[in-house]
A and B are shown apart, each in its own frame.
Chain A
Amino acid sequence: MSVIQVNNISKHFGSLKAVDGLSFEVQAGQVFGFLGQNGSGKSTTIRMLLSLIHPTSGSIEIFGDSIASNRNKVLEEIGAIIERPDLYPYLSAKEHLQLFAKLRSKKITPSSIEDTLVKVGLNDRAKDKVHTFSLGMKQRLGIGIALLHNPSLIILDEPTNGLDPQGISDIRNLIQHLAKEEGKTILVSSHILSEIEQMASHILILHKGKKLADGAIQTLLDPNKMIVHLSTTNDEQAIQVILASSFSNYLLKRPAGIYLSIPHFEIPLLNQFLIQAGVGLINVESRNSLEDYFLQLTSNTN
């Protein structure tokens, strides 16, 4: 069942098309990664999901209800943290949770508040004012507020911002726990592709407001294609040789270095060709990662 169904939404700010004809679905229980460079339209899309921004056109349904006409009902089941965690500096962590508990129709008990504080690792600092918190601690508290009312859908915009490696690991484990053990649906956006790769089962890649790719990571990352990085003694000579060959289509535009997206069985043929053409090959590195996939897509578009 689709938890989120976005149908051809667009958002124009004057002449700027921040989001252009975007459609996607998020199924129940998925950890859905939202990828894109800065200014790609991720935050705009998330704000439209939360009815903070009115779409210029298109529709959004969450839990089968239109966000436009059943907003309150829908939002009752969503917990979200949007961009940086902005909170009230004169209140403590616990006071924040107590305050936001008032805004939910579900009864949130004091023990639930304590559990949330433990879950996000703030039980030791519960009574401290937020203005004494680091960015990472504020991030945790923001996540705590999002989880407080046990929502079915959790939207996390850059949740690992400002966190140390342990904190990042904790959040990743939390997200995986929420999805696998508690059956939550989670939409997480990030520009740290390696993190998304470890957390998400499905991704959507946005670029300049348009969808570039959408689907399960395992499907998108074509196991038959590898990203090959060549290190040579003369990169310029090597590029000219490749461009003049049948391997030219595999060459990727990158600001630096020689990268090709090439079926894995052709890699030996490429090596042989380069050596015969007199290119001084130092190293051939091949990998199949989300980052590479992302860069490939976006550079093709450019």
Chain B
Amino acid sequence: MKSIISFELYKIFRRPRTYIAFGAIAALILVIQFGLKVDGQSYAAFLMKDINDTLTVDGNVLNGYLICYILLQLLLVHVPLLVALIAADMISGEANLGTLRLLFSTPFTRTQWVLGKFIAASIYTIVLLIWLALLALFLSMWVFGTDDLFLMKSNYVVLIEQNDVLWRYVGAFVFASFSLLTVTSLGFLMSSIANNSIGPIVGTMSAIVFFTILSTLNIPLFSMIKPYLFTTHMNNWKEFFDIQVNDNNEAIKGSILNVAKIKTSLIVLSTHIVLFVGTAVYITRKKDILS
């Protein structure tokens, strides 16, 4: 299996298309960081207009930790689409190219090939996430400095001390990796069905958009299925940035408000990954390679 993973990684990182996602993420992050560096105070003032009526906020609110949070909110909605570009091409792209028959006539089982390709695609996804982390977190920390994380949610504000922030980001990125791997596995499944890449790529993106809409609409009809949709759980990395308070409304340092929600989401996402990849293996084993 190591040979297959090495084989696939070599191809992934030699192909020019791979670097579109890295470039897109870098461009997005740098543009947003530039905008916030130049005009971030207006943005911060807008966010804090309700608070500033009552309170004086002293400190570096627009610091690297907050910038990273803002970037993750924006990017982790769109990065799945970039992941789909590679994942949905892993099998169908080979079929379209005609190289799938070359690979499947080597002394490895189809299961080994599918799993090896999935692992390679997952490594690509993780590398992409690390790239995102480097730019969104560490570059932001360098450019904007660090301070407490002053998170303005829709209905309340969370103030997390700066020495209580970094581990939360580690947790959030690990969680985000599960979210992105779910997208990778969905793209993979689509890829196992088709003989060209356009269908699976568009199909994966469409599925994400469709299920995201179902997850975010507050319509009672959809409430029953929402807990089972992977898109409902993909953004729960944010739970790492909500803390418990005691009876005196004092935030408890080092706590997470809803650990159970994170655990449930991880289980749902992992289940989807296993289901999608398992189905891709099954389909690939059964099908005749006619391309």
Q: Which residues of A contact B (CB under 8 A)?
A: 47, 50-54, 71-76, 78, 80, 82-84, 86-88, 90-91, 95, 99-100, 102-105, 145
Contacts and interface: CB of A to CB of B under 8 A. Distances in A.
Q: Chain B interface residue count: which class? A: 20 to 34
Given A53-B288, A84-B98, A86-B97, A99 B109 contact: no
A103 B99 contact: no
A50 B288 CA distance: 11
Contacts of A72: 107-109
B16 interface: yes
B246 interface: no
Interface stretch (B7-15, B72-80, B194-202): B7-15
Contact of A71 (B3, B15, B101, B109): B109
B287 to A, nearest CB: 9
A100 B104 CA distance: 12
Interface string B139-178: 0000000000000000000000000000000000000000
Interface string B279-291: 0000000101110
A99 B288 contact: no
A172 B18 CA distance: 40
B4 interface: yes
Contacts of A76: 107
Given A82-B101, A84-B98, A86-B98, 13 more contacts: A47-B101, A72-B109, A75-B107, A82-B105, A83-B98, A86-B99, A86-B102, A87-B97, A88-B97, A88-B99, A90-B15, A91-B14, A102-B7
B119 to A, nearest CB: 15
Contacts of A91: 11, 14
Contact of B102 (A73, A82, A102): A82
B6 interface: yes
B248 interface: no
A54 B102 contact: no
A72 to B, nearest CB: 4
Interface in B53-106: 97-99, 101-102, 104-106
Interface of B: 3-4, 6-7, 10-11, 14-16, 97-99, 101-102, 104-109, 286, 288-290
Contacts of A80: 105
A95 B11 CA distance: 10
Nearest to B4: A103
Contact of A103 (B14, B108, B109): B108
B289 A47 contact: yes
B62 to A, nearest CB: 42
Most buried by A among B16, B97, B102, B104: B102
B120 to A, nearest CB: 13
B97 A102 contact: no
Contacts of A50: 101, 104-105
Most buried by A among B3, B101, B288: B101
21 contacts: A47-B101, A50-B104, A52-B288, A54-B286, A71-B109, A72-B109, A74-B107, A75-B106, A78-B105, A82-B105, A86-B101, A87-B102, A88-B15, A88-B97, A91-B11, A95-B14, A100-B106, A102-B3, A103-B3, A103-B106, A103-B108
B264 to A, nearest CB: 40
A19 to B, nearest CB: 12
A71 to B, nearest CB: 7
A101 to B, nearest CB: 10
A53 B97 CA distance: 18
Nearest to A48: B288
Contacts of B16: 90
Closest 9 CB pairs of A and B: A86-B98, A52-B289, A75-B107, A50-B105, A76-B107, A72-B107, A53-B288, A103-B106, A102-B3
Given A47-B289, A84-B98, A88-B97, A99 B107 contact: no
Contacts of A145: 102
A52 B290 CA distance: 8
A52 B105 CA distance: 7
Given A90-B15, A103-B3, A51 B105 contact: yes
B67 to A, nearest CB: 36
Contact of A88 (B4, B11, B288): B11
Nearest to A73: B107
Nearest to B291: A86
A99 B15 contact: no
A181 B27 CA distance: 59
Contacts of A88: 11, 15, 97, 99
Contacts of A73: 107
